[in-house]
Structure 1
Amino acid sequence: MDSSHLGDYAVFGVLLLAGFAFVAAAMTANRLLRPSAPSKVKGMTYECGVDPVGGDWAQVQIRYYVYAFLFVLFAVEAVFLFPWAAVFTAFGAVAAAEMGLFVGVLALGLAYAWRKGVLRWA
């Protein structure tokens, strides 16, 4: 191995150690300088300025997570589709068929979610 590569690794190692030391020093300074006065009132649940009512357990319906998952799925599709569309003329027929297959699989996923009633809000 060339000695210049070892020097590059040494610089990287020193910077990595300096970064860890900086984070450790900041965390230690935070712990030493912060005020600490725990109380029962500070430990209570806070709901946007309104006094909490009832317990702290709230059941969330799974459909919200499904909507979020579908949004991420189709956002990822857009991330892959837009750059491909920008350079479409540079690709051949095989690349167009592959992109058609990609969009077709996503359309099947959307059709499946639609058929199962996942996209119905109420």
Structure 2
Amino acid sequence: MRWLIALLLMLVSTGPAFADSARPPARLSDTQLPDPKQEAEAQKLMLELRCLVCQGQSIADSNAEMAGDMRALVRRQISEGSSPQQVRDWLIARYGDYVTYDPPLSAATLPLWITPIAFIVIGLWLARASFKRRKRF
């Protein structure tokens, strides 16, 4: 029984080693565009897009293979004349609102926008109640 548990632990621990493939990175993933204006647009957009693998990093900061593919896609589409907004809209249509750090206001993302405001209002209400209680004593 112990050898089975040890085998399972070894198999689970080797998973991250096989997360990325051995294929070379996409052509434009780490290569800047020749036009500085287009590269600046691409860089700005890449900072606004979330890596779907890392989930805590932008595609500009992530070393994940998928982030490299997304960087190459952004650069390629911008070099072909697409605006950053068109590229962003295309990625949102393909991967959903989660791909962007600034999701648009919709029925699905309404809780993301309302929750912080609700927490602030609740915190102010609790602080006010606490200060009123202190004045009485």
**Higher alpha-carbon Rg:** 1
Whether these two folds match at TM > 0.5 is no
